[in-house]
Structure 1
């Protein structure tokens, strides 16, 4: 009896801590801890893919998981606050405070140091990367000025920034009832664009992930009763398993002969996004429940919180590590050097969050969507 009571007490205590943590985070940020953790896992997958592409050849697909999460979070914000006065102005100011500071800090540091770095650079490409248009020309051309190899990974940030610029205006124009139709049209356009062999790292060809995230927001935000319907997780699980079966068939039949370097036919990448959307949908449905307690662990949530900085800094520091090793005549990538580089990446991202991002994020209170709620938002933990 004592053992049962003790076990129950520990379980209640753990549940209370989980509930309190989630509640506190919700007050401070309006965010879902499980989605932050999912973002952290996606970031780790991308980093591992860049370090060891042969061990995780499909790791690039985590970028599309980022897109799905962004589509969901941004559309949820629009559906919740789109009718507020000066919404678009507040939205763009808050987005700018979140994403511009360390992006431009990284770009300007690389630009200033480029003459002394061993890799080639072309200042003709700098205006494009400064305006998040480094890949726009590839919608209609196969070539565009590239500024620096250290910043090649920023194409995905350009895709998201372009989405942030266009999507809120479109949603505000069509209204809440038009979101589903708009998202379906965008996903269809992306599949058609890839099928016509358009370059696969531009907004149009990667928009289906963003669109599926928007569909999730329309499903869960506009129809709150869905959250309690018992059939929802079964539907998401069936959709996810269907996507897995299709992808497995493509791999077995050679339809994905180069997993590390798409594109494939349009529907193939759509299957990757459908799988990601099913996972995100299940996480949203089960948020706060014991089944997802692992996604509320502080360390994993912390990685999700730092994921933006980790993504921006990791590629630059990884290449610099290779450059230094080469300069000292060290070949290959031994485990100790990769581990040291990973530790440096995490330390830089943590310092960036503490001393650059957090102080600037406090300014977001000046652009609160609901002015009466400003007093409640005392700490800037919104990292979308």
Structure 2
């Protein structure tokens, strides 16, 4: 299945959603009209589903030795992550003072507590974060292990855990049904259920359903585009409507990520199948240059925006804004524009070079293996 460009735009919009939610939670503008974080935690849920889809697509399209696969994944996430982690560690003391002097936003007390825990246990937090496995450290052993230094990096640890085990998980899911496979899956589920309550929010076991939705969505789209009769015959608009009705019937915003994901799948598949102007138009908008530009640097945008927000908060008192709405407008403008600039530079000079190195690493391995393959075929 070809690269799905619409998902690139979705990544960018989700990153902006997270940014807006973090700005909103730094001031007191929430109430009847606005939730304290604009429900931006659900943007991360969609990110996780999308990650399940993307990694499954990668594994399906390019089978490769595990060491090469994981090296390329590490080059994908660690360079930019470590860059922003080092900066966040350097300003950790300043961050505590900035949060203490910030407006009375809904997350102020929580962020002061996290900043204090970060400084109190900083060597251990830094060690755990450098490995990307801080999501496996019990919070009763290391307070605020999810959110120390770089708060949004809790999901980076989650992604890294998934990368490490994705080939095994997807391999188990695709193998023919057998008693051995069933017992293995049951044993894994029991282990996850036993350890999950003791581990932080970024533990992989707490997000298996979201990753599973992404994995299942990939194979649905793959076999539909390949023309598999049963999958091809499924009435997609009707299934989407049933799914949306079920989400609404739950009367919970927690089903918003699933509704967003179902809508994205509907638009992408329907556009590919020429099912109408509206789908083609939405697909064209998603594939437009501005949204593709934004999506390309979504990872850097997600990592960097809290540092820019800290800068905006630090400069806020000198401006004398007393109205929460004026404070929010200033913080949003500075954080958004500053993050776009920082993220673009980060993407061009950190992310992109390491991406290309990872791709070349794969090509080099393929070229190195080619003579042996040719020799083997000749011998046969």
Call closer, same or farther: CA 1:197–1:361 in 2, change over 3 Å: closer
Note if 1:344 corresponds to 2:348. Answer: no
Aligned position for 2:227: 225
Does the 8 A contact of 2:43 with 2:257 survive in 1?
Answer: no
**Structure 2 counterparts to residues 101-180 of structure 1, below 5 A:** 101-115=79-93, 117=95, 118=97, 120=116, 121=119, 122-138=122-138, 141=140, 144=143, 146=145, 150-173=149-172, 175=174
Aligned pairs for 1:1-384 (under 5 A) are 30-53=2-25, 54=30, 55-56=34-35, 57-82=38-63, 84=64, 86=65, 88-115=66-93, 117=95, 118=97, 120=116, 121=119, 122-138=122-138, 141=140, 144=143, 146=145, 150-173=149-172, 175=174, 200-222=201-223, 224-225=226-227, 228-229=232-233, 231-246=235-250, 248=251, 250=252, 269=254, 271-288=255-272, 290-291=280-281, 292-326=283-317, 333-368=327-362, 371=366
Change (3 A) 1:186 1:362: farther
| CA pair 181-81 structure 1, distance change in 2 beyond 3 A | farther
- Contact persistence 2:301–2:343 (CA under 8 A): yes
Indicate how the Cα distance of structure 1 residues 177 and 350 shifts in structure 2: closer, same or farther if over 3 A, else same.
Answer: farther
1:203 deviates by: 1.8
Task: State which drifts further: 237-246 or 287-296.
Answer: 287-296
Q: Give the Cα–Cα distance (whole angstroms) in 2 for the partners of residues 330 and 42 of structure 1.
A: 29
| Separation in structure 2 between the aligned mates of residue 134 and residue 198 of structure 1, nearest angstrom | 10
CA displacement, residues 127-159 of structure 1 (integer Å, 9 cap, x when unaligned)? 111112223234x84853549755111101111
Query: How does the TM-score come out when normalised to structure 2?
Result: 0.71
Instruction: Please report how far the alpha carbon of residue 281 of structure 1 lies from its aligned counterpart in structure 2 after TM superposition.
Output: 2.4
RMSD: 3.7
Partners of 2:20 and 2:78 lie apart in 1 by 25
1:313 offset after TM fit, Å? 0.2
- Tell me the alpha carbon deviations over residues 187-239 of structure 1, each in whole angstroms, 9 at most, x when there is no partner: 98899789979754432222211111011112222553257546133213321
Is the 1:135–1:202 Cα contact (8 Å) retained in structure 2?
Answer: yes
SS at match of 2:316: helix
The gaps in structure 2 that reach 5 residues or longer are 98-114, 275-279, 368-380
What is the aligned length? 318
Alpha-carbon deviations, 1:321-343, whole Å to 9, x = none?
Answer: 21332477766524134202210
Higher mean C-alpha deviation, range 118-127 or range 207-216: 118-127
* Residue aligning to 1:381: none
